[in-house]
Amino acid sequence: MILTITLILSFLVAINFLLLIFSCNKTTKKVENKKPRILRVQKPTPTLVSNQLPIGQFAATGS
């Protein structure tokens, strides 16, 4: 009985680690410093505040 429970728990822990390894979000570290050429001077536009995350970041999932 104890051996069965130990085997089942070990199997579940192994599956959990496999899922953790293969399901994590892998991001690339590409640096893009391409700035557009300014052809003419434009009037300053008001800054808009956004609640969206910057590109390349993920929201916290709590896990």
In angstroms and rounded to an integer, the radius of gyration of the C-alpha atoms of the chain is 24
Give exposure, 10-46, as e/b (b: 16+ Cβ within 10 Å): eeeeeeeeeeeeeeeeeeeeeeeeeeeeeeeeeeeee
Dump pLDDT digits (tens) for 5-19.
999 999 999 999 988
pLDDT of amino acid 26: 67
pLDDT of amino acid 50: 64
pLDDT of amino acid 13: 96
pLDDT at 21 over 80: yes
Instruction: Report how far apart, in Å, the C-alpha atoms of 26 and of each of 6, 8, 22, 56, 59 are.
Output: 33, 30, 10, 10, 14
pLDDT at 58 over 70: no
Q: State pTM to two decimals.
A: 0.39
Dump pLDDT digits (tens) for 30-52.
666 677 676 676 677 777 666 66
